[in-house]
Amino acid sequence: MEQPFFNGKIEDLIRREAKGESMVFSWFLTGEEAVLAQNICKKAGAPHFLYGGYDGAERKMLAVSQMDRELLRQCFPFSLLKLEGADLSGISNRDVLGALMSTGIRREMLGDIIAREGLVLVFVAEQIRNFLIQNVESVGRQKVHFIEAPLSFEIPEPRFEFIRLTAASLRADAVIGGLIHCSREQASRLIDEKLVSLNHVLLSKKTKEVHAGDCIVVRGFGKWIVDECGDLSKKGRAILLCRKYI
């Protein structure tokens, strides 16, 4: 979505709430869109809350509302669907996304897709819940169907590979090179090609330093959380402790 158009849609939500609507919700936002939407709301002084159905959700809806957040959580217009079938162990997030998109729905109507150890869950805008339940009959070569699950359903924890990394410095290009096992020059090219995001925003400066708590995504390579960084090895290199989503 073009940024001026995106900004206009978020500003429209803010105006609607200011004119008296008690709760106004967006579509599902990407991580980068969520950051932009939050900045627009802060600039306008608008009360807002981002939520995707569970703590740690990547795709979230924006609510513009004065309502207490705990009460507001129960009002978001999305549902949780659970995939049922004989053998779901080989089904990936990409398989599920492909099957859902083939029905003609827009990506913004879908929240997180969770496929782990034979359990497949999808957060969807409530207006397409029944459509998906009635129309999705296969994912890949598997015959399946969706049922609605309660939003209180326990979401399985993500699995991680723990990594101890040494890098020449805490510069983004040096750290990314270490994470994906390539040279700093190759990492720089990935940044220039807009394939790297830091904390859900496209990374534009390869000299930007990485800090503990940062989330790094390199498209086509994976996603990492930096848990600790900054200690120096005997050779003066930076030591980082990271987790890669698997």
Over the stretch 9-36, which tens digit does the pLDDT of each residue have?
Answer: 999 999 999 999 999 999 999 999 999 9
Residue 1: the pLDDT is 65
Of the three residues 73, 96, 114, the one that is the final residue of a domain is 73
- Where do we find the tokens 């924006």? 62
Total domains in the chain come to 3
Same domain, 142 and 172: no
Q: Which tokens in the block code for residue 84?
A: 């049922």
Residue 244 pLDDT > 70, yes or no?
yes
Residue 117: the pLDDT is 85
What is the Cα–Cα distance from 185 to 21, expressed in whole angstroms?
51
CA distances from 235 to 29, 59, 100, 175, 178 (A): 43, 41, 51, 16, 16
The answer to whether residue 113 sits within a structural domain is yes
The answer to whether residue 155 sits within a structural domain is no
Q: How, if at all, do strands 238-245 and 201-202 pair? A: unpaired
The range of the structural domain enclosing residue 88 comes to 78-149
The average pLDDT across 67-76 equals 96
Dihedral sign, Cα of residue 30, residue 31, residue 33, residue 34: positive
Banded pLDDT at 212 (limits 50, 70, 90): very high
The answer to whether residue 91 sits within a structural domain is yes
Say which CATH number the domain at 19 has: 3.30.1370.160
The average pLDDT across 75-100 equals 94
Say which CATH number the domain at 144 has: 3.30.70.330
The average pLDDT across 157-163 equals 93
